[in-house]
Amino acid sequence: MSNVEGAVVSHQEPERSSGYVQSLDRGLAVIRAFDAEHPRLTLSDVARRTGLTRAAARRFLHTLVDLGYVAADGRLFALRPRVLELGYAYLSSLGLPEIARPHLERLATAVGESASASVLDGSDITYVARVASRRIMSVDLGVGTRLPAYATSMGRVLLAGLPEDEVDAHLGDLAALTRYTITDRDQLFAELARVREQGWSIVDEELEEGLRSLAAPVRDRTGRVVAAVNVSTAARRGSATTMLAETLPHLLAAADAITSDLVANR
């Protein structure tokens, strides 16, 4: 999926199933055109970010307005709260946020840092639960936030949990987000092998300079990695070695506790 200027249109059409409905795909693309950096868009903006014609973008926007998912204010369009129903239906069926939250709260209290849980969605991770102790990133993180899997500790835990022949399909373009980001595929695969063997991942200033995070996997009853939990901190607060010594035991205990509750709940 191209990320040039925030575009959400895919330039390389994947193979579609016989039941594929193009109009639904395009309607969802219009919803995805809106994000934290682009909360209000004109018709032309939507057409450009989705690759749709203006006429098609207009039809989809007005349909979404009629359905209550988009609001229109003059030339500008914006998502309405009802769009959250689409995500909450998934989160409710998952059960993970409710199970993870008390453990994340205890983890955040124990280490004095923010704690989160996420799942893999394509080449991104999606936050499904978060307990914030302080803001340490330049963007606000919350439920529904998406970040590139390859450059995040939770993403690497989730990628390492996949069969090796499936990993490449979830990587996308390895863009350099900071001067420290791993962008070489062979180097990244070597790092994922390390994560797979040791059972946790630490990412030091690869997503955003000044940010360090540590993650561990959550598994289902078959042992498959289904989610990841992490702790994030400002790199200036101490060394990576100190973080591993002081935080990793608490993180692994929280991940194991969430795994146990998730298995018992299914």
pLDDT of res. 15? 64
Compare 102 and 2 and report the one with higher pLDDT: 102
CA distance 112 to 103: 14
Mean pLDDT of 47-63: 95
The alpha carbon of 76 is separated from its chain's Cα centroid by a whole number of angstroms, namely: 27
Instruction: Say what the pLDDT of residue 119 is.
Output: 93
Which domains, from first to last, does the chain contain? 4-85 (1.10.10.10), 95-265 (3.30.450.40)
Percent of the chain with pLDDT over 90: 61
Q: What global pTM score does this model have?
A: 0.67
Write down the pLDDT at residue 1. Answer: 37
Instruction: Please give the structure tokens belonging to residue 127.
Output: 């936050």
**Is the confidence at residue 28, as pLDDT, over 70?**
yes
Q: Lowest mean pLDDT: which of 10-14, 54-58, 253-257?
A: 10-14
What pLDDT, on the 0 to 100 scale, is given for residue 182? 95
User: According to the model, what pLDDT value does residue 6 have?
Assistant: 41
d(CA 184, CA 86): 36
pLDDT at 31: 95
pLDDT of residue 10: 40
Please give the residue that has the higher pLDDT: either 85 or 13.
85
- Judged against a pLDDT cut of 60, whether residue 114 lies above it is answered with yes
Question: Does the structure show a pLDDT above 70 at 139?
Answer: no
